[in-house]
Structure 1
Amino acid sequence: MLLGTGKFRDFTVMRAALEASGTQIVTVAVRRVELNAPGHAGLLDAVDWDRYQLLPNTAGCRTADEAVRVARLARAATGTNWVKLEVIPDARHLLPDPVGTLRAAETLAADGFTVLPYVQADAVLARALEAAGCAAVMPLASPIGTGRGLRAPELLRTVLDGAQVPIIVDAGLGVPSDAAQALELGADAALLNTAVAEARDPERMAYAFALGVQAGRAAFLAGRMLPRDHASPSSPPEGAVRLPDPEVPDPEGPL
């Protein structure tokens, strides 16, 4: 489970949610951080980076060129090669640009970045991003911040089928059962932000999502039963107590 840092009421709530989630990877939008500002007491100072892997993201970038520039600025400022790649020209639905994402991924991977691109659930694009050298692929469950859950599980199945890198379901998850469903299908991880930050109790919701992720992964490894068209008793019929059938009264009466 990965967790974002946006939309929390304050840093205290955010830190409590990070702790409760058990996450090891935390993503931060580069444009939200006043990097190297004198006396700055902002987001980077609010998180203990000895405990978490920093994953800068390129949120707000509309083109491949913008995303590449922001990723390089993040590396220069933070020293990490990791980047969550987002190229989103669509301000209304926040859907990622597949062409721009692939172009930026090719550039950043060649430049030594550990690239985790945010994309729609498109198996052809996912394979192209793998070939470009991405460390993982992050298909959306539903549009960012909607909380609608996994809207197209069959498309996610096609992304998972034959994937050679981890598949991290990102965006649109609303409740822990959404994350469990994604991992039951075979996803390797889930990235959360809004579902936790906008919960009535973010700390408790972060813990609930941690349990959902664990349950989904355990279920996938256990292997689900095959669904059937008809009911199947869980107990054998042998040895069941049977009473004689009552006599059926004659509709014509005693005569």
Structure 2
Amino acid sequence: MIENSDKLKIGEKSFNSRLMLGTGKYRNIHDATNSIENSECEIVTVAIRRLPIDLKNDNINFLKYLDWKKLWLLPNTAGSQTAEEAIRMAFLGHELACQLGQEENFFVKLEVISDPKYLLPDPIGTLKAAEFLIKKGFTVLPYINADPMLALHLEDLGCKTVMPLGSPIGSGQGITNLTNIQIIIENSSVPVIVDAGIGTPSEATIAMELGADAVLLNTAVAQSNNPAQMAYAMNLAVKSGRLAYLSGRMEKKYYANPSSPLNQISKLE
């Protein structure tokens, strides 16, 4: 088992789970709530644009069915095409957190996506918005392309994580840029969270085996045939990958090496 001391720390907040789950694309409230429960995640991300300003007057919003004493809200600025839009969404996200009883929650998943076709993050807009929000006291988790230099610039600004995409969002292509993500992990002193593109538990495990600190996913669970079961599978995959990373893999060799060498057998005798 992973030791209790192996916690994910983002800013001043610590978490036991290294799986984060999104809340979009579910077929119904039942699938969404069951998936979140089965995933054992502690961070749930919500697109602010999709929500009403006042949750008390919304009778169908599934957020009221979640236990916010156990979960931590990660508002995201999805749909923002400019830095200014993202900044506005971040402040609305904090208002939502306050409505859920998390007045001290200034977390924001920063997304600035100006291209509606490929949905790739805008690096200039992301930098601009991140700098402003950090000065206002937000804990910024920026969603970025797997760009090692951009990751370093955002870390220097004061971002508490970097969140490189594994492949285009919602594509289910898996991790198509392993080399760049590995460079980001090796050079980062803040948690690296692989976000977007993961389609199967094995791909989540690969991300964790690389040394990623966490994985954030949504479509792979929400659009599966059995979301609650897939959420549980992703939970196990992330735990497995983390354990493997902490254990340290064997050295690769370019020739066969018997698992029961003769000299070892003779020593045992």
TM-score by length of 2: 0.86
**2:77 paired residue among 46, 58, 81:** 58
Structure 2: 5+ residue stretches without partners:
1-18, 99-104
Runs of 4+ in 1 over 6 A off after TM superposition: none
Q: Using a 3 Å threshold, how does the CA distance of structure 1 residues 37 and 163 change in structure 2: closer, same or farther?
A: closer
State whether structure 2 residue 233 is matched by structure 1 residue 208. yes
Q: CA deviation at 1:92?
A: 1.1
Q: CA deviation at 1:38?
A: 5.5
Task: Give the 5 Å matches for 1:154-233.
Answer: 154-233=179-258
Equivalent position amino acid for 2:170 in 1 = G
1:46 corresponds to which of 58, 62, 65: 65
- Superposition deviation, residue 45 in structure 1: 1.9
- Within 5 Å, give how 1:102-141 maps onto structure 2: 102-141=127-166
* CA gap 1:209/1:237 in 2 versus in 1, 3 angstroms: same
User: 1:33 pairs with 28, 48, 51, which one?
Assistant: 51
* Alignment partners' CA distance in 2, 1:195 and 1:77: 26
Shift of 1:77: 3.7
1:74 matched to 2:99? The reply is: no
Instruction: State how far apart, in whole Å, the 2-side matches of 1:46 and 1:171 are.
Output: 26
CA distance in 2, matches of 1:155, 1:124: 10
Spell out, residue by residue over 1:2-45, the C-alpha distance to the aligned partner (whole angstroms, 9 max, x if none).
Answer: 00000111111111000100100000000111121563121332
Q: CA deviation at 1:69?
A: 1.1
Percent of residue pairs bearing the same amino acid type: 50
Measured in 2, the distance between the counterparts of 1:92 and 1:238 equals 62
The 8 Å contact of residues 88 and 97 in structure 1, kept in 2 or not, is answered as yes
CA distance in 1, matches of 2:71, 2:231: 16
Kindly provide the CA deviation profile for residues 66-120 of structure 1, in whole angstroms up to 9, marking residues without a partner as x.
1011111222343331100000011111100111101111110111001100001
Q: What is the distance in 2 between the residues matched to 1:153 and 1:34?
A: 38
Distance 2:252 2:177 in 1: 20
Post-superposition offset of 1:239: 9.7
Match of 2:57, SS?
coil
Task: State the TM-score, normalized to the length of structure 1.
Answer: 0.91
1:143 has 2:168 as partner: yes
Give the whole-Å Cα distance in 1 for the aligned partners of 2:68 and 2:264. Answer: 63
Q: Point out the structure with max Rg over C-alpha.
A: 1
User: Is the CA contact (8 Å cut-off) linking 1:33 and 1:43 kept in structure 2?
Assistant: no
How many matched pairs?
A: 240
Secondary structure in 2 aligned to 1:130?
helix
